[in-house]
Chains A and B, each alone.
Chain A
């Protein structure tokens, strides 16, 4: 590498990846003076791009996301054709992400596939493998004989074949799931419950309908779609861990919109970028434009503790050290009483409590302090 000694001097002041970028993109014929100039300009540009100490980045981020947020719609959009596949977008979705609520209203996955399958090979079969199938979807006929007290079901043979199932396997599934005796009679399954009352019979009938047959639980719908000459599977319902373990799935690109699930399966760093991606998705879908650095800051704040914390009184706000700051944001009584019981001390180190006491806030021009010589 040419002029490496010049780069050495900048290792302390410029990030590694910027230096790497310069090294890789330097033209072959470049003299020492030119390299020096490039590095000097890069340094000034980098310094100018840095945020000044005491800059209220949090407030600016909040305003920058909040102001366009007022223009967002409250609609959820519906996919045409596919039954009940709709997506929460706009403000409700944004609130959902930032509050870090337990599960999204419309959980969704985008499953990418490995080489032969992503060109459409066995796509239907794969989709069926992922989708949770319950017995009711396979049954073509149902009958209850009250006198002899048995229930007969006739499974749809074509659907069975689609799933690589046969009547014997169904028998086993029912026996395992309900702990009842099942007999095979030609293409019928006869179930004889131990309790013969009519109401019990009906209960068992409902239970039979819900017997799990195949696929991943909680994934209710699958929709194979083509995206840029590649087949992917979009699902309603998520189960990240199990999907990633499937051998035909590309585990690197496959994602879910459930931030908490990502945090538990892939860890906090993945959750941080999931928050960023999901917030950005909402903002872009509304045709708004917010600088990604504001969203990065919010995602950072939500993830610093190692767990995903929502911007709520139970999440980020409860982490604040100041009693007055916490009390100023929802449920003041709770915080004041707790503080009084434990004799908490408020050092008045952040913004809001200083506004309350009418003191200069320690931010912006209020941050620098005088220091005496010696």
Chain B
């Protein structure tokens, strides 16, 4: 007597639990029950769980009967000819989907050769245990699992060819690789996902060696010659937009070249790229501060007096200009209307990004690194046949991370490039490294991939043989050009008078609590004061009541709002943040008085 639950609800009991379960499965395979049904016999609880609900993760497996998969060569031929589809196989009960509960009753073989009479299912492909991104890592079965994770994560950030219709799209923050290549070392998933239609990397010659310490700590060294020939160049696209908003009273924004008497007019130079319609023209090279879309808005408050008594234009300037640090060429201009019928202007900026020190690159094995040096072609190590590597990868990145697949791909890429064919690096059933090494030997190279290299500067032969090969490298979207930031003076916050925060606001770099402690530890008293001078202010203080007094600039005279003019008022220097907190205390009913004393 086993309890039967359908979607976790008790519905009744059944005498022959195992038979009941088998019957459901048979019915499902015959398609008399929908293929979405799953059933589990929990022997411990002696209960049958039938599940038909949504939200269960299920995966397909080949059905095995009496130690043999139901799928036959006949099926395969039909599939090849296109007479059968996947869903036909599901309908015929050749393939079925199991959820996590039903998997508990199943015995799944990894390979066909492992099948015994006890097995109930066969894995369609061992690659099935990996997702799309992880399957794109070649020779993934030779990597540590954490590296496989990192490798597939990195691929998502790679710059490539994301969509063929990019010229007519207005996506934010787009990066496009100039000359993407299809990887030489591929996996099955590259074909399945049609990777050749949206590749995101380039096959380059990599040597595993150090060079004067410029590739310490995961840095990489790039060949200047390779960059000049177009390696890893990309474009960065960023659209700006502006809308002609409508306000109450029939007033609207206007996209135009602003008149000089408009409130907030920048300078003639800033508007120089604008055409008569108020929008910048394509292929203009604009820099920070240049206006892209000229726009004026009606006055904010009609009640404001000074806007009435002037008969001339009282409109405000509300143009879109390039922010601090931005530059680029106008790529595309679009003028359209939105749902409310408002005029809408789009301007897409394009900026070429040539690899520079600090740009991030990665192989497909989680071996990410940042350019530490761009070496002139002439200084690069070279081989007897005149090959110079495009990239120098530090050998210290390998032992602790155990990315063996990185090394196998290097050999595989070399073989593929020399033999002129793609290498199959599918995880679990790719080409073996032994075969690759034999083929490399046959191609006239040293079996282990190492080569004699010569010092590019002196021409001397290196004592060690250097491991050189070809592999697929990805440029990641994190580029220094988008991150570089520094400031000496700049904008401050209105409330605290301290520097703003963040690159976008041209902010300062905070000297925090712990950094402050280091100044104290060194006893650098005045240096510390100077570092915190960013919000230093001079404040008049009334000596009689201890409150902050007022200075009248016209009369050049200070007075205390409480005690009047005939009291002693002295100026003191303190941080504006402290003056602010004194004011805030006062608003809470706490009167904090400042007592002055002679310093000397």
Q: Is B517 an interface position by the 8 A CB rule?
A: yes
Which residues on the A side are within 8 Å of B536 (C-beta)?
358
* A residues less than 8 Å from B526 (CB atoms): 360, 365-366
- Interface residues in B546-581 by Cβ distance below 8 A to A read 573-575, 577-578
Interface size on B (CB < 8 Å)? Answer: 26
Whose C-beta in chain A lies nearest to the C-beta of B517?
A59
Interface residues of B in 496-533 (CB under 8 A from A): 516-518, 520-526, 528-529, 532-533
Contact of A340 among B517, B522, B533, B590 (CB under 8 A): B590
Q: Which of A331-374 contact B (CB under 8 A)?
A: 336-337, 340, 345, 351, 355-367, 370
A359–B523 CB distance below 8 A: no
Q: Counting CB contacts under 8 A, is B585 at the interface? A: yes
Contacts of A54 in B (CB 8 A): 523
The reply to whether the CB of B600 lies closer than 8 angstroms to some CB of chain A is yes
Which residues of chain A come closer than 8 Å to B595, judged between CB atoms? Answer: 345
CB nearest neighbor in B for A332: B581
- A62 interface residue, CB < 8 Å from B? yes
Chain A residues whose CB sits within 8 angstroms of the CB of B521 once the complex forms: 56, 59-60, 63
Contact B523–A355 (Cβ < 8 Å): no
A358 in contact with B529 (CB, 8 Å): yes
A358 and B590 contact, CB distance less than 8 A: no
* CB-defined contacts of B535 to chain A, threshold 8 Å: 358
Q: How far is the CA of A337 from the CA of B592 in the complex (A)?
A: 11
The answer to whether B517 and A63 have CB atoms under 8 Å apart is yes
A-chain residues with CB within 8 Å of residue B573 when the two chains form the complex? 358
- The listed residue (A60, A357, A366) touching B525 by CB distance below 8 A is A366
Contact with A along B328-345 (1 / 0, CB 8 A): 000000000000000000
User: Known contacts being A63-B517, A365-B524, is A360 close to B529, with CB within 8 Å?
Assistant: yes
**A55 contacts partner chain B, Cβ-Cβ < 8 Å:** yes
| Docked CA distance A340–B521 (Å) | 32
Among B518, B520, B578, which residue has its beta carbon within 8 angstroms of that of A358?
Answer: B578
A54 to B529, CA, bound (A): 17
Measured between beta carbons, the chain A residues less than 8 angstroms from B522 are: 56, 364
Chain A residues within 8 Å of B591, by CB: 340
**In this complex, what residue of A is CB-closest to B579?**
A357
Chain B residues whose C-beta falls within 8 Å of the C-beta of A63 in the assembled complex = 517-518, 521
User: How many Å from the CB of A103 to the closest CB on chain B?
Assistant: 32
List residues of chain A with CB within 8 A of the CB of B523.
Answer: 54-56, 363-367
The minimal Cβ–Cβ distance linking A321 to chain B, given in whole angstroms, is: 16
- Cβ-defined contact, A62 with B517, below 8 A: yes
**A56 contacts across to B, CB distance below 8 A:** 520-523
Which A residue sits closest to B594, measured CB to CB? A357
Q: How far is the CA of A351 from the CA of B520 in the complex (A)?
A: 8
Q: Which residues of A contact B524 (CB under 8 A)?
A: 364-365
Q: A358-B574, A358-B575 are in contact. Are A364 and B525 (CB under 8 A)?
A: yes
Q: In this complex, what residue of B is CB-closest to A371?
A: B600
Bound Cα distance A358, B533 (Å)? 7
In-complex Cβ contact of A363 among B525, B532, B533, B575 (8 A): B525
Q: Are B574 and A357 in contact (CB under 8 A)?
A: yes
- B590 near A361: Cβ-Cβ < 8 Å: no
Q: Which residues of B contact A357 (CB under 8 A)?
A: 574-575, 578
CB-nearest residue of chain B to A333: B588
The interface residues of chain B lying within 8 Å CB-to-CB of A367 are 523, 525
- Is the beta-carbon distance between A358 and B532 smaller than 8 angstroms? yes
| Complex-state Cα separation, A370 to B526, whole angstroms | 15
Q: Give 26 A-B contacts (CB < 8 Å), ordered by A residue.
A: A54-B523, A56-B521, A56-B522, A59-B517, A59-B520, A60-B521, A63-B518, A337-B590, A340-B585, A340-B590, A340-B591, A351-B520, A356-B577, A356-B578, A357-B575, A357-B578, A358-B529, A358-B533, A358-B574, A358-B575, A364-B520, A364-B524, A366-B523, A366-B526, A367-B525, A370-B600
Residues of A near any B CB (own CB < 8 A)? 54-56, 59-60, 62-63, 336-337, 340, 345, 351, 355-367, 370
Q: Which 3 A-B pairs have the closest CB atoms?
A: A364-B523, A366-B525, A358-B575
Q: Other than A358-B575, A359-B529, A359-B574, give 10 A-B pairs with Cβ distance below 8 A.
A: A56-B523, A63-B518, A355-B528, A356-B575, A357-B578, A360-B526, A360-B528, A363-B525, A365-B523, A365-B525
